[in-house]
Structure 1
Amino acid sequence: MSDTGLDRRTRRRQETIEEILTAAIELMEAEGVASLSLSAVARQLGMQPPSLYQYFPSKMAIYDALFQRGAELYRDLYREVLAKATTNDVRELDLQSAGAFSRWCMAHPVYSQLLFWRTIPGFQPSPEAFAPAQEALDELRGHLQRGVDRGQLRPEAASDEGIALYTSLTAGLISQQLANEPDVAFEDGRYVRLLPTVLEMFYQHYAPARGKT
C-alpha cells in the first residue's frame, strides 16, 4: 500500500475517533457523565457495537481519551492566557487565568466533571491521559513561584500544600456554580463572582511577613 493510502487510512481512523468522542460528549451532556454506554455511542453514530470496539475496547477507554483531551484543552487555554497577557503582575495574571478557567469549566461541564470530580466509579486516568493535567499543574506552580520571587507570596505558596489550596479554592467555586446554577452566564454566576475574593484569601494566607519583600 502506498504512503498516501496509509495516510488516508490513518486520517480516517482519527476522524472516526473524534466522531466517537464527540458523540460521547453529547450523550453525557444529555444523560449524565456516568450513564455513558458503548451501545448508545454506537447507535448515535449508526455503527454496530463490535465496530466501535476497534477504536475503544471499553467505556473506560473512552473516558480516558476524553480526560486527556479535556486536560489538553485546559492546559492550552492556560498557556494562551499567559501568553496574551499584557501585565506582569502575578495577582492580575491569576485573576485572568482563573477567570478563563472558570468560563471554560462552565462551557464544558462534561470535561469539568471528568477532570475535577470523581463522578465515574472505578475510573482512573492513565499516566498518558493525566500527563497534560500534570503539565498544567507544573505551569501553575511556576506561576506561583514567580509570585514568590517577586515578593508577593511566601515560598509555601508554590509548595504542594499551596497548589492544593489554590486548586481547592478555584475548583470549589466551579463545583458550587455547576451544582447550583449550571445554566447561568459567567457574569451572572453567584459563586464564580467570588473568584477575586478567594484569590485574595490565597494571597493573604501566603502573604510575606511584614518587612520582608
Structure 2
Amino acid sequence: MSTAGLDRRTRRRQETIEEILEVAIELMETEGVAALSLSAVARRLGMQPPSLYQYFPSKMAIYDALFQRGAELVLAVQREAVATASEDEDVLERGLNAFCRWCLEHPVYSQLLFWRTIPGFEPSPAAFAPSMESVEDLRQHLQEAVDAGRLHPDAAGEEAIALFTSMTAGLLSQQIANQPDASFEDGRFIRLLPVVLEMFYQRYAPTRG
C-alpha cells in the first residue's frame, strides 16, 4: 500500500502495519500458516506484545489483513496479464497461467486464500471483496467467449464457474502438496493446466447438447 500523501504519523503507522504483515508471512513460511504467534511477531519486530494490539487486536485480524492483501495481489496479477494479452492470445488461458504461477510462487498466501488451514478463520467482507472481483472477472471473460461463439452459453453460468475453479484449484493443490518447490514450468501437475482448460472447453463447446 502506498503511503504517499499521508501525514507523518499516519504514514509511520501504515509502514508499521506493513512490517507486521511482512514478518507474519515470513513466520508462516517457516512455522506453518496456522502456527502464527503474535508474540513471535512482536519479538521479531523488537516490540512488546501489547504494543502489537495497537495495530491488530487479534491474530485473526492479521490473517484477515493478509487475506485481503493476497487477494488484491493475485487480482492485480491476473488483470495485468489479461490487459497485456495480444489479440491472438486466449485471455482465459493467459489469466489462468498468471494466477497459477503467482499461487505457486506465494504458497503461504495460497493456503490462506484457497484452503481452510486456520480453524475458525473467516475473512471479513472487505477482505473477501477482491476474491469476488476475481470471480466476476472470470464470469466476464467466459461471457465474452460465449458472445464470440467460442463457448456454449452455459459456460458463463454458476455450474461452469464452479467447475472451472474446482479443476484449476485441484491442480494447484496437487502441485503444492506433492512438489512444493517445483516451478510453474517444471511442476508435474501444473503442466497439465492446458489439458484441464481443453477439457473445460470441450465440456462447454458451442455445439454442446
Which interval holds the TM-score relative to the shorter structure?
over 0.9
Letter in 1 for 2:192: L
Letter in 1 for 2:26: E
Mind listing any 5+ residue stretches in structure 2 that lack a counterpart?
A: 1-5
Classify the secondary structure of the residue corresponding to 2:7. helix
1 CA distance for matches of 2:87 and 2:175?
28
- Please show how residues 155-194 of structure 1 align to structure 2 within 5 Å: 155-194=153-192
2 CA distance for matches of 1:74 and 1:209?
33
- 2:121 corresponds to which residue? 123
1 CA distance for matches of 2:175 and 2:157?
27
Q: Deviations along 1:64-90, whole A, 9 cap, x unmatched?
A: 00000000001111110111001255x
More helix by share: 1
Higher mean alpha-carbon deviation, 94-103 vs 67-76, is at 94-103
TM-score (norm 2): 0.95
Question: CA offset at residue 137 of structure 1?
Answer: 0.8
- 2:3 corresponds to which residue? none
1 CA distance for matches of 2:88 and 2:135?
20
Q: Deviations along 1:157-189, whole A, 9 cap, x unmatched?
A: 111111111111111111100000000121110
Higher mean alpha-carbon deviation, 93-102 vs 39-48, is at 93-102
* Amino-acid identity (%): 71
Question: CA offset at residue 56 of structure 1?
Answer: 0.4
Q: Deviations along 1:75-118, whole A, 9 cap, x unmatched?
A: 111110111001255xx222221111111001100110111111
Mind listing any 5+ residue stretches in structure 1 that lack a counterpart?
A: 1-5
- 2:136 corresponds to which residue? 138
Letter in 2 for 1:72: E
- 1:67 corresponds to which residue? 67
2 CA distance for matches of 1:70 and 1:113?
10
1 CA distance for matches of 2:56 and 2:87?
44
Letter in 2 for 1:200: E
2 CA distance for matches of 1:76 and 1:41?
27
Q: Deviations along 1:12-67, whole A, 9 cap, x unmatched?
A: 00000000000000000001000001111111111101000000000000000000
2 CA distance for matches of 1:205 and 1:148?
13
